[in-house]
Amino acid sequence: MKLSEITNYLESIAPLNYQEDYDNSGLIVGDPNMDVRAALVALDCIEAIVDEAISTGCNLIITHHPIVFKGLKKLNGKNYVERVVLKAIKNNIALYAIHTNLDSVHTGVNARICERLGLSGTKVLSPKTGLLKKLVTYCPQAQAEQLRSALFYAGGGNIGNYSECSFNADGFGTFKGNEASDPFVGERGVRHQEAETRIEIVYPIQVERKILLALFENHPYEEVAYDIYKLENKHQLVGSGMLGWLEYDMDAYDFLHLVKDRMQAKVVRHTAVTGKRIKKVAVCGGSGSFLLKEAIAAGADAFITADFKYHEFFDAEEKIIIADIGHFETEQFTSDLLVEIIQKKFTNFAIRLTEQNTNPINYLF
């Protein structure tokens, strides 16, 4: 199997344009055309993971966290990042990361946390903007259905839980071709009036090339009239954090113990328990303090995440319980999620879950 087959599939699940600006998801080391024998999946890419890949015959490592966040100016092995990259190159091992783009999709990291906590009715806590565009075009009524179907197949017309969404209005268009034209209907040099359908669809920006190819290949006119608009609408299935509901409201301490148990956390750092029962819960894998205001505004009773600083705990102001369970702990089940995603598509592909615990933090009890 070619490496590009795997990476293209992963990027169809979690497109690279969904990652945050600071991130470095995608193929970090490797040739997209290389043949992949087997893959090793882990949360972090450290030297022990590369050694495990070598010993198990894996020439692809897929991790949540990218080994390279900032630009490397030198590769001389002076730190673990450089050593990992050098060892991967020397052993012809590809390195691929799927980080904040997997955090952002509604079936990604935060969905797995919600699943483990038994939350239902989940939705993205802070949906992203700037990810959607609208296409408006005009087509002869007789060919409108063929064009609509092609645009849907190319990835247009998906809104939330609905697909094949479009708006259509009938009217008429006029045009007059010059002597060099080859009109689909009408005659050169004569103004023609044609019954047309105005078709509008929304699409995610990463499929724009496919949308335009579908438009030009299925529209009958020699010159296609169309408009593209950038939308400020929030993409309800893409964004930061998630919100969900427990089946029954719980005592706060009982809930915190449930979180510790279900998330296999060593320690839970939390704000004061006020006596309010817990029903609505916000979660964010990794560093989620930036979402505290959104969690409060959404009416969450508790916020499960990691990496809160000391003074940030005061910002809860008894409106919400912050439960910081650790960065590794919030994301440790991401590796299982990635294995499941890949096995669902490539049923016969050799994929291994690492046996290494890459958490750099240890606890003294």
- The pair of structure tokens assigned to 3 is 């490496």
Question: Is 331 one of the annotated binding-site residues?
Answer: yes
Question: Is 311 one of the annotated binding-site residues?
Answer: no
Encode pLDDT of 220-235 as tens digits. Answer: 999 999 999 999 999 9
- Whole-structure pTM value: 0.92
The CA distances from residue 237 to 104, 180, 233, 295, in Å, are: 8, 47, 12, 17
What are the residues facing 302 on neighbouring strands?
281, 321
Say which CATH class 131-231 falls into. Answer: alpha beta
Write out the residue limits of the CATH 3.40.1390.30 domain(s) in the chain.
3-102+331-353, 105-125+240-325
What is the pLDDT averaged over residues 49-63?
98
Q: Kindly tell me if the per-residue pLDDT of 245 is higher than 90.
A: yes
Encode pLDDT of 152-192 as tens digits. Answer: 999 999 998 899 999 999 999 999 999 999 999 999 999 99
**Strand positions, DSSP E, 259-342:** 269-270, 278-287, 302-306, 321-324
**What does the pLDDT read at residue 65?**
97
What is the pLDDT averaged over residues 297-321?
97
**What does the pLDDT read at residue 365?**
84
**What does the pLDDT read at residue 182?**
93
**What does the pLDDT read at residue 274?**
84
pLDDT tier, 275 (very low <50, low <70, confident <90, very high otherwise): confident
Write out the residue limits of the CATH 3.30.70.120 domain(s) in the chain.
131-231
Question: Is 99 one of the annotated binding-site residues?
Answer: no
What's the mean per-residue pLDDT of the chain?
96
Percent of the chain with pLDDT strictly greater than 90:
96
**What does the pLDDT read at residue 360?**
96
**What does the pLDDT read at residue 70?**
82
User: Which among 297, 301, 305, 352 has a CA at the least distance from the CA of 330?
Assistant: 305
CATH hierarchy code of domain 105-125+240-325: 3.40.1390.30
pLDDT tier, 337 (very low <50, low <70, confident <90, very high otherwise): very high
**What does the pLDDT read at residue 160?**
87
What is the pLDDT averaged over residues 121-150?
97
Question: Is 327 one of the annotated binding-site residues?
Answer: yes
**How is domain 3-102+331-353 classified at the CATH fold level?**
3.40.1390
